[in-house]
Structure 1
Amino acid sequence: MKIRTALLCAALLFAASVHAQQAQPLERIAAVVDEDVILQSELDRAVSNIVAQYANRQNQLPPRHVLERQVLERLILVKLQTTRAAETGVRVGDAEVDSAINNIAQQNNLSPDQLRQQLARDGMSIEDFRSSLRDEILTQRLRQRFAQSRISVSDAEVDAAMASQAGAMQYHLAHILVALPEGATPEQIATGQQKIDGIKSLLDRNEMQFAAAAVRYSDSPNALEGGDLGWRSLDEIPVAFANAIRSMQPGNVIGPIRGPSGFQLLQLVETRDGAQAAGGAGTVTQYHARHILVRPAEGASGDGEARARIDTLRARIAGGADFQAVAGESSDDTVSKAEGGDLGWFTQDEFGPEFGGQVANLQDGQVSAPFKTQAGWHIVQRVGTRQTSVEDENRRAQVRESIGQRKLEDEWDRYLREMRGEAYVDIRVGG
């Protein structure tokens, strides 16, 4: 029996990400990553996990040396992300790892002991599994923090997208990327063009399925997922592809087209009416609010200093200072700060139960006392409330999420490439 959840699959993939100091001193090093290392045993375990996942589809995997290089690049990125997470104060406690393991066991109808036994049968110790799960949670937290600080979607963007999507189709896409480095030489461009043309020729002759070709040949981080890009509306698709997609049938492939990252092929997997994504009935209460956030600094005194600072800001507002002006000057929320702390319209649980409970208990125009969430210390001012249809709210939430994910994909990919480019990486295996 193979255990399956999204978090578990990611953890299995990166199960080799165990710190070097836990290993034998004479073990071979596969790569040096800044001041850390990836051991050959870690790489071997990660490759074995991929091979096990493709047990019934071995012909879809690339040659062993290519697979090792793909997996090693992923391990390098995991190592860089977990290091960056630690540097920026992201922490994952033992209790959180225990909770994640219990959730995985429950989702697979297993007890914790049965999960441990299943992992042992799959060749993984519980210690390796805990370590890989901790790394996966760390990288998720880092991505979430990145999204909170870098990605914002305005109501105007949502309104415009909803207007353009009215009655529109949605498209399930997959892609294959042949990457080019920044400032690629003519020789590198020619080599990339030759490779993408060869892949396209294989697909045109029906010698390989698109997902299998993505696993074997794509340079994209989602290669081992068959290049799956999920569902997108037309305005979320690059202009170079959008016009052609309208006339495509499921299974069709377009490209190659050269973009910022390299040469791409795009496959239309399936389509659906955009209205299928919406649903529900009745109404829901929305709140319009502003807030001021003070993030605690690292160290034992950080929380106390943050509390003292938020108390001072609350006293200024109680004394007659304008909430928006104070937020613009002092809030640590870089997304809403420029808007005077304005968060727009949202449902009660959208920013978490602690925040939503505070807003729901206020009257319009009232300012809360200081309160704490995982993000830090807040004060919030409720501006207004309204009732909106659940169906419309579901659509708005989905459109907002879709726009945010598109922005995040672009920015996160750029962030990872910058992180990889700035790191010292010495690969000691392969050609």
Structure 2
Amino acid sequence: MKYIKQGILLALCIGAMSNAQSQSTDGKGVVVDKIIAKVDDYIVLKSELDRAYLDFLSRGELSQGNAKCQILESLVINKMMVAKAEIDSIYVLDIEVESNLDRRMSYIIQQIGSEERLEEIYNKSVEEFKEELFDQIKEQMIVQKMQGTIGEDVSVTPGEVKKFFGKIPADSLPYFSTEVTIGQIVKIPDVNKDRKEEIRQRMNELKKRIENGEDFGQLAKKYSQDPGSAATGGELGFFKRGELAPEYEAAALSMKPGQISKPVETQFGFHIIQLIERRGNTYNSRHILNIPKSTASDVEEAKQFLDSLRTLSMTDSVRFEVLAKEYSDDQRTSGNGGFFSDATGAMRVSVEEIDPTLFFTIDTMTVGSITRPLEFRMADGTDAVRIILYKEKVAPHQANLLEDYQKIRAATVANKRNQIMSKWFKDAQGEVYINIDPEYENCRILVN
């Protein structure tokens, strides 16, 4: 769903919550810690470094001789960015941090099972966790904002790409495995009117129960089909205008705090919404979501529709890319004319990176062919139907400008951005006070 951000990292939240409890002691229960680095008014504690290093090891990373030094340098760089953000008047509002925390906590509660289970494991309330994590999350958000301002809008010319590629030794050129160009047109079956009316009536019944005194949060936990918020009683946290589905936002902002909406239909299903609080251009709400399920006849209609698009494409009446942009329900690929892309934006992807189901499908196809409509499940769990175009296959090869220009261009941009970042750090060091504990002098922090 649009309002359930995939950027939320469960490991980060769990690690932060564990860190909030764990401190080094001297064996007698007395907390032992010290400042090992200072950047203006911002400090790095030894316990921070120790926890970050343990987290590094817990991820299965091999410990190298300078791993702890590299981690300390990254912590110092973060403090530099926060200090420099203060100088440059780049800031993050507390309300933005609170909204971020709300979403993180909702996600982690979903993974653990319930708010009660979370409090049982860590012996702290959700509010206590949020209070302890507030400064840490705010720092992360400021760092991300600073990173976004450094080297933004970097562009390169074809000449720069060619020059960058020319400097790579022939024996250092990367070797790419088999790559394919694959497109899809996805259709989420439309739910028939009778089924929608059933859901609408069910939601109206829940609305009446709430109006008659039943607790909204308890009903959300029991009946809402939004896994990201059901565990927290349906509460979504603060969002800005334009971040939620338009129909949802319009309903929420038309109410006074405490009011409950009639059933509202969005692309995700039917919602009962309660506005909790409004702060300027942001608002907090909670909802109960019911998602109508399509019937076999709905799926068959979707298949027939896609079959007609397949015919249009195969007879060259309309290009596949045009049809995908106009009709595909998959937002990840429709903007690319239905084609999958890799991390660089190139629309030729390694067979090692594509979904196994997709791989086994194209493994039975010939290049240039389009499948009949196939049922599948989208990344968010939605049942859908799609047709797949197998446009191109490129054999394993060593990188070259003709076949791999997009990848080489992305590497050129990254190199240019790194140069800008290096210059930024050099300049920033002259604007902030940095002091490293003598114990870590051998780490040569921020020394080229």
- Give TM-score, length-normalised by structure 1: 0.38
Larger Rg: 2
Bigger relative CO (Cα 8 Å, ≥ 6 apart): 2
